[in-house]
Amino acid sequence: MRIYLDHNATTPVRPSVAEAMSGILRAEFGNPSSVYEEGALARARVEAARSELARLLAIEPRSIRWTGGATEANNTLLFGLLSPGDHIVTTEIEHPSVAAPLALLESRGVEVTRIAPDETGCVAAETVLGAVRSDTRLVSVIWANNETGSLQPVAEIVDGCRARGVMTHSDATQAVGKAVIDLASVPLDFLSTSAHKLGGPKGVGALIVRGDPKLPAYLHGGGQEYGLRGGTENVAGIVGFGEACVLAREELADRLVRYGALRDRLWAGLQKRIDGLRWNGDRDRQLSNTLNVEFEGLAGEVLVQALDLEGIAVSAGAACHSGSIEPSKILVAMGRTPEQARASIRLSVGWGVDEDQVDRVAEVLGTLVPRIRAAEAP
């Protein structure tokens, strides 16, 4: 049986999620916009899922807009809110679904200030707030980085921005279901997330919109999702997202402890067997499930391929850039050289991973790394 340690890329669909979706697909085909019984039932399913995500995030259900994923949520916000002449503060460690839209908007006249992280992958709240100007339209800071798991000081940044009258956004896709997110205590104006990072299906996400910022429609049509996203809702996917939120709420405390124990066990096993390792990040300020490791002198892509042949799935950097030989922009932003960045891989645990599996991964790497180093030695 293969071992899957790339839960930051995507997660297995949980059995109860698949069962909930299957019931919709088999028997409940109504359009949520229809006024008769089948449509009313579909609408009830959509709104019940909305309430479950709201409970998980401690936000009002009416603040949730369903999307096709976090990438769509990020694009909907950034292209809808920012215009030429606006100023935004963000970071150098954002997911490409934030970084790429901002690069395009920058070419159209939006001014973008990007804050660099420290060597652990975290930005300083005071540096972010120090970049805020009187004309700043938005501050967008990722909650947890997808490659290193580094947790950013979102609460402190939000407090500072509210005092300055500036709106805030966080791409929390990696954090939802793996970190405590309480939007009653951290009153972000906008938050993006996606179902497939927490045991739900691909193809469904959400944009949290607090208040009434007058975002224009991203998809024009039937006016669904409070006029933001026209088109018939993906009822089965939304129901699956809702069930994944139920599981996340019920299991979060256990996940934080269990995932951290597995990650630390894996790290200890690697240290016992392999020299020349570096943990990219700070374990006290990152997701408990994520371990990004530099293997000195190796090419991460080679190691990923060798592990795949051994039945183990991990990644070199972000899955969105799999197959790329470019060094991780995140690790380079943290001060790593391109060679050090290329020598790093990401291992991320999640549901279904156990101690025997992480022990096996440490054992296999303990054999592969010396062999590859010897083969590549001059």
Amino acid 212: pLDDT? 86
Listed as ranges, residues in the chain with pLDDT below 50 are 320, 322
Amino acid 279: pLDDT? 97
Amino acid 247: pLDDT? 98
Q: Is the pTM of this model over 0.85?
A: yes
Characterize 289-317 residue by residue with b for buried, 16 or more Cβ atoms within 10 angstroms of its Cβ, and e for exposed.
Answer: bbbbbbbeebbbbbbbebbeeeebebbbb
Amino acid 320: pLDDT? 47
The catalytic site residues sit at: 320
Q: Kindly list the structural domains of the chain, giving each domain's residue range(s) and its CATH number in brackets, ordered by start.
A: 3-10+252-376 (3.90.1150.10), 15-247 (3.40.640.10)
Reported residue count of the chain is 378
pLDDT digits (tens, 9 = 90+) for 245-294: 999 999 999 999 999 999 999 999 999 999 999 999 998 999 999 999 99
Amino acid 324: pLDDT? 55
| Of 305, 290, 301, residue with least CA distance to 348 | 290
Whole-angstrom distance, CA of residue 66 vs CA of residue 20: 18
Its sign, for the CA torsion 92, 95, 96, 101, is negative
Residues 4 and 313 sit within 8 Å (Cβ to Cβ)? yes
Element housing 306 (H / E): helix 300-309
Residues 66 and 80 sit within 8 Å (Cβ to Cβ)? no
Q: Helices 235-273 and 37-57: crossing angle, nearest 10°?
A: 30
